[in-house]
Structure 1
């Protein structure tokens, strides 16, 4: 990639707990294109290794950490493809932590910024908590850290920095030891403060807003900005040049493969993996590629006025529902007094 010196004053960010991206993927992509988010953090993707092509979003680089061995969980971080960033690996013991850490290169000798996304399921065992605290300690050594995620610690009172349960008190202790502050003031799931926005530099975070939800998720989305100068890259994207493709050779190569023999005894996932690898290998031999510049800022053809109207209608309906809910709770409190 050819790096250039252009920079921006902030990263526009979105975070939410999706409770399965599934059918919400299209809405997420529409939001990304209309709001021009630079960074999108997701917890509870509920992805497994079969979600390869379906997880791709045009114009974005995807970092992901799927939960292994059981359903649910999983995290992802979409980053605009022209940003100079790389994933960091913080290994702490053998216990798997559902976390991602990505370093954004600062522009013009400004500080790099590490962005983390984490999902802590309810009743997480102490060993995994300790592994996460080890990762957090390493990440907090960076000059600038922003961490978002669902930590499922609703008993913490962030105004007084107190907590009821032992694990929550331990979490607060580590937040304090690493000199982090919690910047998210509004609850994101009913009245519960499950999702957090932590940083070791308060001036990094700005324009935090909570509202609306992704699809039918019971968590509200968090819109915020990371105030930094992020170095961008002018990326050359390689795409398939179908005008010069040799489809006859492609069909011939695929036709020579003894599918019945090679897939005998394989399950659905293994069969799909074998087919995909065979197709990609044949594609590489028969379809040339061409390079083109990224299309940052261009609205895709599929994002029609009708889709934009539906998104606007959903947002307005959600605001009306939220206002009604708050009004009902207020009258309920008055009636109890």
Structure 2
């Protein structure tokens, strides 16, 4: 769902068999350790700790790990004196927050257009258009006419912005509430297995679909010019 999200994992993973310093001999032979390394590789995770975090008279291992898919975020790392039998790891990481750019699309409100002005402009444009009509190709004539229509549309028909992710902008809050009611009724019907409730759900679904159609037609009627 979030393929570009930052991943950061801290903790005592307790894999003494993994040699994080020597990448060519990463695993000395342990099925669980090998599986763990495979998971890290599959998720493109880099291990940032480079010094042993647990040192005894018998062993010295990197048990406490920092795993991330953004190793470039590490600014500094230091190893402090042990509180228990593990060293304290202090790190500074810099993650740049990803801002969400909300794009929008512009639609014309044709129901509020100044069509008298458009007709006057077209009336003045027609003689000029016809005077050189024969000297242009069919495609050129079409482009001249199209560009004039675009110019008049942008000049005399007001515009409004809508969020670009509104695939169905006529889907109002009322429509959402009614859809939620339908979903709740559907779940109740499956749980209770009541025939009468099932008929009620079908009727409610039909009513909601009609409401959606009304909302759709109303949006189109208020937004788009019908020729």
TM-score relative to the length of structure 1: 0.25
Which one has the largest radius of gyration? Answer: 2
**Whose RCO is larger (CA < 8 A, sep 6+)?**
1
Higher strand share: 1
Structure richer in helix, relative to its length: 2
